[in-house]
Amino acid sequence: MAHKFENVLTSNIIFGLYQTTMQSFIEEEKENLLESLNYGFPSMEPRDCDELRKKLENEQYKIFNFDSSLGLYGYVIGKDIKIVINTK
């Protein structure tokens, strides 16, 4: 559905990827979400964080957080995640 990445470098080192609860996501990102909902991010319908939480839960979205040792960190709002390892 949406993502927010910060500190994107050409050589990122991702330390971890984990799923977080909807409630903790809304609490941690509340100020950013209140601002960005005015511009249609991460969705056009909700007007506030409570409506966003209900929409995401009703449509079975999940929150995936990225932690890094170098560079990229942020989150993805999606229904599932698939990790593909390229060995080439």
Q: pLDDT by residue (tens digit) across 61-78?
A: 999 998 887 778 899 999
> pTM (2 decimals)?
0.83
Give the H/E segment covering residue 30: helix 22-37
Q: Please tell me the predicted confidence (pLDDT) of residue 70.
A: 79
Closest CA to 3 of 81, 88, 77: 77
Boundaries of every domain in the chain: 2-78
